[in-house]
């Protein structure tokens, strides 16, 4: 088999498998088991099956088990943790769990990934200093970061096609800037997520569900740590310094981070539970103001591109600290713009 065809076949199989399973899960009686009833505090009005995560995971592992079994065995502890978080999400899709048992189980699974699979943020390189953390601090901080990233991704899964686009952008961005991970597997992931997104665009025929969003959230969080932790010999022509990896990683995953921090601050200010379902998310406000999911996804993508370009071209000029200040100003600007839109909307009513 030609080399180029051998590289293209696994992603193609993953795409077809995921798309076919999505069709099966939303067109048959299987949809009844996973229907996410609309109304109330949810943004959709009609029942939509939240079983897309099943198709994504089976598409990824079906193609990978066929073409890359050695890689799956080499990273068996990581994938065992990913399967565990997928099962947790699947149970929550079938019968919603309370936030506390769900969070405790996440911490156990993520702790397993950090300790047993040895996925840890050990070092951070800034402009003029190299921070090497003690093992205990590295473990605790890594668990906290991955838990936050996993749930942040889960929180943005509320607008058609948005979560899938964020995952695609983050993974393709890390591939472009060279992540020290088995790239053929990541192309399989990209193909599977794209196969799902074909049916997740408005009007969405199928949702990712917690099974898919927690799985992809954990995977993206792990990949971001591996991207930041890349060996100094893993370079890219687009990056002038190794210290640019941290701002690039934050830029690629900015929207889940921004939206979660924003919602948490609003809930704390209102003295509400951090995990209470509401319509304070950025995409929720934009949808209620009449913006279409495709437009929201485009805005998030363009804002991601702007911040990535800033990390590539501004950091060497301004330095990493000033760049983070500029980035925070952009985030605050977006936050206050949303407040202005809501205020104008209330005045017009």
Binding residues for Mg(2+): 154, 210
Residue given tokens 């970061």 in the structure block: 145
Alpha helix stretches (DSSP H) within 31-161: 31-34, 52-67, 69-74, 76-94, 99-115, 135-155
Q: How many CB atoms lie within 10 A of CB 344?
A: 11
Structural element, H or E, at residue 36 = strand 35-36
Q: How many CB atoms lie within 10 A of CB 102?
A: 20
Extract long-range pairs of 61-66: CB within 8 Å, 24+ residues apart: 62/13, 62/14, 62/17, 63/10, 63/11, 63/13, 63/14, 63/17, 63/188, 63/191, 63/192, 64/10, 64/14, 64/185, 64/188, 66/10, 66/13
Query: Binding site: residue ranges?
Result: 154, 210
């Amino acid at each position: 088999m030609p080399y180029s065809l051998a590289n293209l076949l696994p992603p193609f199989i993953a795409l077809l498998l995921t798309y076919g399973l999505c069709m099966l899960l939303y067109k048959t009686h299987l949809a009844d088991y996973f229907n996410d009833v609309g109304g109330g505090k949810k943004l959709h009005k009609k029942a939509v099956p939240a079983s897309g995560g099943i198709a994504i995971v089976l598409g990824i592992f079906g193609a990978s088990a066929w073409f890359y079994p050695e890689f799956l065995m080499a990273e068996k502890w990581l994938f065992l943790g990913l399967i565990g978080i997928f099962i947790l999400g699947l149970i929550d899709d079938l019968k919603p769990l309370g936030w506390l048992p769900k969070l405790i189980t996440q911490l156990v699974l993520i702790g397993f990934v950090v300790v047993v699979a040895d996925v840890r943020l050990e070092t951070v390189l800034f402009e003029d200093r190299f921070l090497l953390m003690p093992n205990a601090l590295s473990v605790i901080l890594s668990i906290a970061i991955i838990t936050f990233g996993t749930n942040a991704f889960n929180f943005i899964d509320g607008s058609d096609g948005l979560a899938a686009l964020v995952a695609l952008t983050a993974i393709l961005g890390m591939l472009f800037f060279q992540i020290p991970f088995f790239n053929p597997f990541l192309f399989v992931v990209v193909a599977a997520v794209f196969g799902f997104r074909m049916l997740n665009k408005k009007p969405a025929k199928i949702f990712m569900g917690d099974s898919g969003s927690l799985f992809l959230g954990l995977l993206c969080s792990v990949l971001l740590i591996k991207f930041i932790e890349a060996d100094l010999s893993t370079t890219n022509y687009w990056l002038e310094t190794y210290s640019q990896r941290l701002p690039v990683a934050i830029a690629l995953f900015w929207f889940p981070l921004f939206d979660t921090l924003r919602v948490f601050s609003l809930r704390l200010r209102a003295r509400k539970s951090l995990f209470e379902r509401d319509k304070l998310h950025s995409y929720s406000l934009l949808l209620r103001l009449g913006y279409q999911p495709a437009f929201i996804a485009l805005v998030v993508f363009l804002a991601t591109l702007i911040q990535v370009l800033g990390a590539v071209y501004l950091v060497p000029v301004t330095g990493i600290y000033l760049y983070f200040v500029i980035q925070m100003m952009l985030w605050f600007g977006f936050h206050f713009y949303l407040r202005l839109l809501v205020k104008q909307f209330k005045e017009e009513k």
